[in-house]
């Protein structure tokens, strides 16, 4: 057990990330009391049944009362409304963070509602699955995954404490400015998701023409696309609306690359294709070497061990 880093932690939104944080806090003793808020009674009841929250509240304002750490784990589009609600009820000296996939838009939405004397440190754990909801979380979700913190002018001691908290859940913590974060994530997450949604949409159209063949004969590559495209639609709608410029920039670059490959295929340029695939294969190897995935085959997508 690790000594509690925060006495009272409030989770606002109780989906995959927040429930995993709750389980991790319980497993490693990172908080004395965990409170939670969700809109639906079913979600609140589930959080208590699963044991990752000690108390749940129907309003976010009640959940954050006396909290030392407040985690905003709601879709990016809902951040401003939640921040407006909780602002007057935040404890002096408390820290507010978030887990959103976009940072500049979150800062613009949340920062004006944070009172003086409260630390606001945006964050983004680079972890997740295609599942959502309070029953999808597990304590080891963040192990050996990166969590990016945006200092945002906060006090060094508050940043250090939040870093200790994430490291206590097994994350590798790095700091980054908001603009750089948004362009990096447009490359590594946002545009790949958009491409996955598009490819599955194309296949859905073809499925109507060829009946069940697309589903029956899905190869591993298409299965991976469908896994990504199964992610929470509300979250991803808000990501693309709030990280519009960076995503469109990277999507434009992707289109240029795609045109180059189309030309190589049309012209029968095998050398160009081989060289291109060799370069991109090296990136996959680098990801494995960095410990962010395994080279072991997992064609059946075995269930993640949530112990």
- C-alpha 210/C-alpha 204 separation (Å) is 10
The topology (CATH level 3) of 180-289 is 6-phosphogluconate dehydrogenase C-terminal fold (1.10.3660)
Backbone angles phi, psi at 299, to 5 degrees: -65, -25
Strand bridging mode 146-149 / 123-125: antiparallel
CA 84 to centroid of chain Cα atoms: 23
Round to whole Å and give the CA distance between 41 and 23: 20
Distance of CA 189 to the CA centre of its chain: 9
CA torsion angle 90 93 98 99 (round to 10): -130
CATH 3.40.50.720, the chain: domain bounds: 6-176
pLDDT score at 215: 65
> Please, is 62 exposed, middle or buried when counting C-beta atoms within 10 Å of its C-beta (0-12, 13-18, 19+)?
middle
- 5: tokens are 């880093």
Facing residues of 9 across strands? 34, 69
- CATH architecture, domain defined by 6-176: 3-Layer(aba) Sandwich (3.40)
Select from 32, 26, 23 the least CA-distant residue to 4. 32
Please give the pLDDT value at position 110: 97
Confirm if 144 and 291 have CB atoms less than 8 A apart: yes
Note down pLDDT in tens along the chain; length 307 residues. Answer: 467 999 999 999 999 999 999 999 999 999 999 999 999 999 999 999 999 999 999 999 999 999 999 999 999 999 999 999 999 999 999 999 999 999 999 999 999 999 999 999 999 999 987 788 999 999 999 999 999 999 999 999 999 999 999 999 999 999 999 999 999 999 888 888 888 888 878 777 776 655 566 666 666 677 777 777 777 788 888 888 888 888 898 889 889 999 999 999 999 999 999 998 898 888 878 877 777 766 665 544 444 444 3
For the packed helices 244-267 and 233-242, what is the interaxial angle rounded to 10 degrees? 100
Looking at residue 12, its pLDDT comes to 98
Q: Which helix (H) or strand (E) holds 176?
A: none
| Residues forming CATH 1.10.3660.10 domain(s) in the chain | 180-289
Tokens of 144: 């050996």
Are the C-beta atoms of 152 and 111 separated by less than 8 Å? yes
Full strand arrangement of the beta sheet holding 55-57: 55-57, 31-37, 6-12, 69-72, 95-98, 119-120
Among residues 128, 138, 155, which one has the least CA distance to residue 24?
138
Distance CA 13, CA 75 (A): 9
pTM of the model: 0.81
Closest CA to 99 of 34, 8, 19, 27: 19
Q: What is the pLDDT of residue 49?
A: 96
The Cα–Cα gap between 186 and 299 comes to: 27
What integer pLDDT is reported at residue 84 of this predicted model? 98
């Amino acid at each position: 057990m690790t000594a509690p880093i925060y006495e009272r932690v409030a989770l606002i939104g109780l989906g995959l990330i927040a429930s995993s944080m709750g389980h991790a806090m319980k497993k490693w003793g990172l908080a004395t009391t965990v409170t939670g808020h969700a809109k639906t009674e079913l979600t609140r009841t589930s959080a208590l049944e699963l044991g990752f929250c000690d108390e749940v509240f129907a309003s976010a304002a009640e959940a954050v009362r006396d909290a030392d750490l407040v985690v905003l784990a709601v879709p990016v589009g809902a951040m401003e409304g939640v921040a407006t609600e909780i602002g007057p009820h935040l404890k002096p000296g408390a820290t507010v963070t978030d887990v959103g996939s976009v940072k500049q838009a979150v800062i613009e939405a949340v920062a004006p509602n944070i009172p003086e004397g409260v630390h606001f440190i945006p964050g983004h754990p680079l972890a997740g699955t295609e599942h959502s909801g309070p029953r999808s979380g597990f304590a080891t979700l963040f192990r050996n995954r990166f969590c990016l913190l945006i200092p945002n002018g906060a006090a060094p001691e508050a940043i250090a404490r939040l870093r200790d908290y994430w490291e206590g859940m097994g994350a590798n913590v790095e700091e980054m400015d908001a603009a750089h974060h948004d362009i990096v994530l447009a490359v590594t997450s946002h545009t790949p998701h958009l491409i996955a949604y598009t490819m599955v949409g194309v296949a859905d159209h073809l499925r109507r023409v060829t009946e069940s063949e697309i589903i029956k004969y899905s190869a591993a590559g298409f299965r991976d696309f469908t896994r990504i495209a199964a992610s929470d639609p509300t979250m991803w709608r808000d990501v693309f609306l709030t990280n519009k410029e960076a995503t469109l920039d990277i999507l434009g670059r992707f289109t240029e690359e795609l045109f180059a490959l189309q030309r190589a295929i049309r012209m029968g340029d095998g050398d160009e294709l081989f060289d291109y695939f060799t370069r991109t294969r090296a990136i996959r190897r680098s990801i494995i070497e960095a410990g962010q995935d395994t080279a072991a085959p997992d064609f059946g997508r075995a269930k993640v061990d949530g112990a």
